[in-house]
């Protein structure tokens, strides 16, 4: 049974001139989109800020064409691009507002009070937004690691995400990286009849062994224990010199060597962090700063779309209840603490009776 009645926001609402937002969500990946649907369906004005130019997060940017097969309700799988498009369309229909190409700088406290909430000021590199609650859903890993030797070419044929399916056809493709993302891209390229070479710095790829076996069986080549030493254009192709003194030529180079941590951003927000640099949260997804919640990869160990959806929904409900029922979360915390204390006393008593 639903815990709420869907409340439709007024489509004539002047979102451009709101004095403040009920909720600002940082990140338009699975967790952020799910959270935005949940708050908008509960009648809260909701703004989503995304650093990239498209919604969808990792499903959109890392495996747009790859079938995701572990999401309930899609027995034949669904591509990252289609999944992102569907959820984004739902959010737009619910009157969630979006700002793309805006990178978060910080979240400031203000002295302005609205309906018993001290407003927060979300600062991006382009603008500022006042709001009652903030949900961080920007992912633990923001930006792909770059290879300077390839960036120096300033070529549109060097990708840090997987290109569209048609870009592979009958092409020579070199993929840099030995993880699952790199090998998945290699297998996809071979499926589209591309000539594929994978350059792996380690002595052995860390990707799933069946992906490596499938690539080799299909005619793909894996070069382990080597890196790109230099790159140049040659007759319209990219010529790569490897550290093992061999060379490769390519129409396209796809780099999949991991991502830069968002830890610096989290530190700017003055949030308590875990040892691994992720954001520490309480059982209600609230961070060490009151009114700022965190969901998805920014804190989680299980990095699945379904988990990100669930966390986004839960945090959005807690934010909604804080807005509509002041002190609700504090009272719930106090009750939970009392229950924990009773449990500790029972455990201590049982220990003494042994």
- C-alpha 184, offset from chain centre: 19
Report the largest interatomic distance among the alpha carbons of the chain, rounded to a whole angstrom.
Answer: 84
Asked if the domains 15-143+260-339 and 146-257 are classified in one and the same CATH topology, the answer is yes
**Residue 329 has what pLDDT?**
65
- C-alpha 33/C-alpha 15 separation (Å) is 18
CATH architecture of 15-143+260-339: 3-Layer(bba) Sandwich (3.50)
Q: Give me the helices (H) in the chain, please.
A: 30-40, 58-61, 80-93, 148-151, 180-191, 209-217, 263-268, 305-324, 328-352
Q: Average pLDDT in the 131-147 region?
A: 83
CB-based contact 238:153 (threshold 8 Å): yes
**Nearest CA among 327, 159, 117 for reference residue 257:** 159
Can you give the pTM of this predicted structure?
Answer: 0.70
What are the pLDDT digits (tens) for 160-217? 877 776 777 789 999 999 998 899 889 989 988 999 999 999 999 999 899 999 999 9
Tell how many helices (H) and how many strands (E) occur in the chain. 9, 19
Band of pLDDT at residue 150, cut at 50, 70 and 90 = very high
- For 278, residues 6+ apart whose C-beta sits below 8 A from its C-beta are 140, 266, 298, 299, 300
What are the pLDDT digits (tens) for 265-277? 888 899 998 887 7
**Residue 342 has what pLDDT?**
65
CATH architecture of 146-257: 3-Layer(bba) Sandwich (3.50)
Q: Average pLDDT in the 238-249 region?
A: 95
**Nearest CA among 108, 98, 120, 119 for reference residue 51:** 98
Other residues' Cβ atoms within 10 Å of the Cβ of residue 74: 14
Integer CA distances (angstroms), 304 to 30, 72, 180, 206, 297, in order = 9, 12, 15, 19, 9
- What is the percent of the chain where pLDDT is above 70? 88
> Is 353 a residue whose pLDDT tops 80?
no
**Nearest CA among 131, 144, 115, 123 for reference residue 36:** 131
**Residue 1 has what pLDDT?**
42
Task: Give per-residue burial for 54-73: e unless 16+ CB within 10 Å, then b.
Answer: bbbbbbbbbbbbbebeebee
**Residue 304 has what pLDDT?**
85
Q: Average pLDDT in the 62-69 region?
A: 78
What are the pLDDT digits (tens) for 277-331? 789 999 999 999 999 999 998 886 777 889 999 999 999 999 999 888 866 666 7
Other residues' Cβ atoms within 10 Å of the Cβ of residue 265: 19
CA pseudo-torsion sign 38, 42, 47, 53: positive
Domain boundaries, the chain: 15-143+260-339, 146-257
Size of the chain, expressed as the number of residues it contains:
354
**Nearest CA among 107, 91, 43 for reference residue 319:** 43
- C-alpha 35/C-alpha 334 separation (Å) is 25
- C-alpha 301/C-alpha 297 separation (Å) is 7
> Is 95 a residue whose pLDDT tops 50?
yes
Mean per-residue pLDDT of the chain: 87
What would the two tokens of residue 29 be? 């990946």
**Residue 94 has what pLDDT?**
95
Nearest 10 degrees: CA dihedral of 12, 13, 15, 19?
Answer: 160
Greater confidence (76 vs 345) lies with 76
Nearest 10 degrees: CA dihedral of 318, 320, 326, 331?
Answer: -20
Greater confidence (27 vs 115) lies with 27
- C-alpha 225/C-alpha 37 separation (Å) is 46
36 SS3 class: helix
């Amino acid at each position: 049974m639903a815990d709420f009645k869907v409340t439709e926001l007024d489509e004539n609402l002047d979102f451009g001139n709101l004095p403040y937002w009920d909720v600002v969500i940082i990140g338009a990946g699975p967790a952020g989109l799910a959270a935005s649907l949940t708050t908008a369906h509960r009648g809260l004005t909701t703004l989503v800020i995304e650093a990239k130019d498209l919604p969808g997060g990792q499903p959109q940017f890392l495996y747009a064409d790859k079938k995701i097969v572990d999401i309930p309700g899609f027995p034949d799988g669904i591509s990252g691009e289609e999944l992102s498009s569907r959820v984004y369309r739902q959010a737009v229909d619910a009157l969630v507002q979006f700002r793309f190409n805006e990178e978060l700088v910080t979240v400031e406290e203000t002295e302005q009070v609205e309906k018993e909430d001290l407003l927060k000021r979300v600062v991006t590199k382009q603008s500022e937004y006042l709001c009652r609650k903030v949900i961080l859903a920007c992912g633990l890993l923001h930006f792909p690691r770059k290879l300077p030797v390839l960036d120096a070419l300033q070529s549109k044929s060097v990708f840090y995400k997987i290109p569209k399916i048609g870009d592979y056809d009958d092409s020579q493709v070199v993929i840099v990286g030995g993880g699952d993302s790199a090998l998945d891209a290699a297998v996809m390229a071979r499926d589209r009849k591309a000539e594929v070479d994978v350059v792996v710095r380690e002595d052995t790829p860390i990707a799933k062994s069946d992906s490596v076996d499938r690539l080799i069986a299909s005619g793909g080549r894996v070069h382990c224990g080597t890196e790109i030493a230099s790159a140049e254009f040659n007759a319209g192709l990219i010529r790569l010199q490897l550290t093992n003194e061999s060379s490769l030529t390519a129409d396209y180079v796809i780099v999949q060597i991991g991502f830069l941590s968002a830890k610096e951003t989290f530190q700017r927000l003055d949030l308590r962090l875990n040892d691994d640099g992720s954001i520490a949260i309480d059982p209600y997804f609230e961070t060490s700063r009151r009114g700022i919640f965190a969901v998805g990869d920014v804190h989680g160990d299980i990095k699945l779309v379904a988990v990100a959806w669930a966390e986004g929904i839960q945090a959005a409900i807690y934010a909604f209840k804080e807005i509509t029922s002041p002190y609700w979360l504090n009272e719930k915390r106090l009750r939970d603490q009392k229950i924990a204390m009773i449990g500790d006393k029972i455990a201590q008593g049982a220990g003494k009776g042994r």
